[in-house]
């Protein structure tokens, strides 16, 4: 019997052993559970959100008040008492917080990743990286109170017209929250860049800064961009920090106007918390609007993740 035949026979025996079959079954169940959970969540959102809209509610056996899908997607007023459900009022606040947190977290996160990957010693990296990731373990509600008690009063010194609840402090605290995600994933991507590329840059007379920004960062671009999308998805879905810091009054704000950051508003996640903790009737129109907001939030996050995959595939480097 040849060596290849012997190896093939041993492989078949190993794969058919009870222990191997049990292990494979366990891992299959774990994978299947993840898929079933995801499909169940999507099905719940779609089914319950369909009961909210005028077009689909009769098909779901829902009678009584419903909302127009056009008014929901294009309306700029969100008032539960007057039955006005314009989700753009909530989306604008979420978008402003996402933009503000991105301005803070993305450059700081990438700069931190460059330092950890290219400049820090092994001893410094072993201390700084775990210390940085501790930020991700702080409860989000603590971040919210930190913004309300410390960040907002500090901003009032510079910007006297800023409100007690405002989107600027919410953006700052969410930006601080997502810095570890940007820094950690970007640093992993930079560390995966082969040293041969660095040495080639040094051989051509490039400085440490030139190699870091001109060789390593472009080579790790797919991983860095993925960290951006994941961090911004976290910013969009953040709940307790923005619930405490951003305010509770829904209003449509212009995302292109910097003055909008000085006002308080109601992001999508905070609106869901407000609805759940308010005096709403289970199964009523306000209750069903929860799932409509959740579906919009899910679609936004899904689109961002798809964009991340496309860009990662487009700029991925094979070494």
- Output the domain CATH number for residue 253: 1.10.3720.10
Q: Mark whether 43 and 118 lie in a shared domain.
A: no
Q: What is the pLDDT of residue 90?
A: 92
Q: What is the pLDDT of residue 111?
A: 93
Question: Is-contact 310 222, C-beta < 8 A?
Answer: no
Q: Mark whether 157 and 241 lie in a shared domain.
A: yes
296 within some domain? yes
Q: Mark whether 155 and 212 lie in a shared domain.
A: yes
pLDDT above 90 covers what percent of the chain? 23
The answer to whether residue 148 scores a pLDDT higher than 70 is: yes
57 within some domain? no
Q: Mark whether 149 and 294 lie in a shared domain.
A: yes
Q: Mark whether 133 and 193 lie in a shared domain.
A: yes
Q: Mark whether 84 and 227 lie in a shared domain.
A: yes
**HSE of 204 in the Cβ direction (CA atoms, 13 Å)?**
10
20/92: higher pLDDT: 92
109/305: higher pLDDT: 109
Residue 176's pLDDT band (boundaries 50, 70, 90)? Answer: very high
Q: Mark whether 269 and 162 lie in a shared domain.
A: yes
The answer to whether residue 108 scores a pLDDT higher than 80 is: yes
Exposure string of 17-31, with b = 16+ CB inside 10 Å and e = fewer, is eeeeeeeeeeeeeee
The answer to whether residue 2 scores a pLDDT higher than 60 is: no
Residue 91's pLDDT band (boundaries 50, 70, 90)? Answer: very high
Q: What is the pLDDT of residue 267?
A: 92
Q: Mark whether 97 and 20 lie in a shared domain.
A: no
Q: Mark whether 45 and 115 lie in a shared domain.
A: no
Q: What is the pLDDT of residue 4?
A: 54
58 within some domain? no
- Mean pLDDT score, 78-82: 83
Q: How far apart are alpha carbons 192 and 69 in whole angstroms?
A: 47
Q: Mark whether 77 and 196 lie in a shared domain.
A: yes
Q: What is the pLDDT of residue 237?
A: 86
Structure tokens at 309: 């995959």
Q: Per the structure, how many domains does the chain have?
A: 2
105 within some domain? yes
Q: How far apart are alpha carbons 294 and 72 in whole angstroms?
A: 13
Residue 227's nearest CA partner among 138, 128, 112 is 112
56 within some domain? no
63 within some domain? no
- Angular region, 287: left φ>0, alpha ψ -120 to 50, beta rest: alpha
Q: How far apart are alpha carbons 154 and 165 in whole angstroms?
A: 13
Q: What is the pLDDT of residue 286?
A: 82
Give residue-wise pLDDT tens across range 16-58.
Answer: 677 788 888 889 999 999 999 989 999 988 888 888 887 776 7
Q: What is the pLDDT of residue 169?
A: 93
pLDDT above 70 covers what percent of the chain? 89
Q: What is the pLDDT of residue 82?
A: 81
Q: Mark whether 97 and 150 lie in a shared domain.
A: yes
- Mean pLDDT score, 248-272: 88
The answer to whether residue 255 scores a pLDDT higher than 80 is: yes
61 within some domain? no
**pTM for the full predicted model:** 0.86
> Where in the sequence is the domain holding 29, given as residue range(s)?
15-51
Q: Mark whether 19 and 150 lie in a shared domain.
A: no
The answer to whether residue 5 scores a pLDDT higher than 60 is: no
The answer to whether residue 133 scores a pLDDT higher than 70 is: yes
7 within some domain? no
- Mean pLDDT score, 165-193: 91
Residue 243's pLDDT band (boundaries 50, 70, 90)? Answer: confident
Q: What is the pLDDT of residue 318?
A: 63
Q: What is the pLDDT of residue 7?
A: 52
């Amino acid at each position: 019997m040849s060596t290849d035949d012997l190896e093939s026979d041993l492989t078949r025996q190993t794969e058919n052993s009870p222990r191997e079959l049990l292990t494979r079954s366990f891992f299959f169940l774990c994978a299947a559970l993840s898929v079933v959970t995801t499909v169940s969540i999507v099905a719940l959102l779609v089914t319950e959100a369909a009961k909210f809209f005028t077009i689909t509610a009769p098909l779901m056996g829902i009678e009584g008040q419903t909302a127009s899908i056009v008014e929901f997607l294009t309306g700029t007023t969100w008032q539960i008492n007057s039955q006005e459900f314009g989700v753009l009022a909530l989306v604008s606040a979420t978008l402003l917080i996402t933009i503000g947190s991105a301005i803070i977290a993305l450059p700081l996160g990438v700069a931190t990743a460059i330092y950890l990957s290219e400049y820090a010693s092994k001893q410094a990296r072993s201390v700084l990286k775990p210390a940085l990731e501790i930020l991700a373990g702080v409860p989000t509600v603590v971040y919210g109170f930190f913004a309300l008690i410390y960040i907002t009063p500090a901003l009032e010194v510079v910007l006297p017209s800023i409100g007690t609840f405002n989107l600027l402090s919410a953006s700052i605290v969410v930006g601080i929250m997502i810095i570890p995600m940007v820094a950690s994933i970007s640093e992993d991507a930079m560390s995966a860049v082969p040293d041969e590329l660095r040495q080639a840059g040094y051989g051509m007379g490039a400085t440490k800064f030139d190699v870091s920004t001109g060789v390593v960062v472009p080579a790790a671009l797919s991983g860095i961009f993925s960290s951006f999308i994941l961090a911004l998805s976290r910013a969009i879905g953040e709940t307790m920090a923005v619930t405490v810091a951003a305010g509770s009054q829904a209003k449509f704000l212009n995302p292109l106007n910097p003055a909008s950051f000085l006002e308080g508003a109601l992001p999508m996640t905070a609106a869901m918390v407000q609805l759940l903790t308010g005096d709403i009737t289970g199964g009523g129109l306000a209750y069903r609007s929860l799932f409509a907001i959740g579906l919009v939030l899910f679609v936004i996050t899904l689109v961002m993740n798809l964009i991340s995959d496309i860009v990662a595939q487009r700029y991925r480097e094979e070494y």
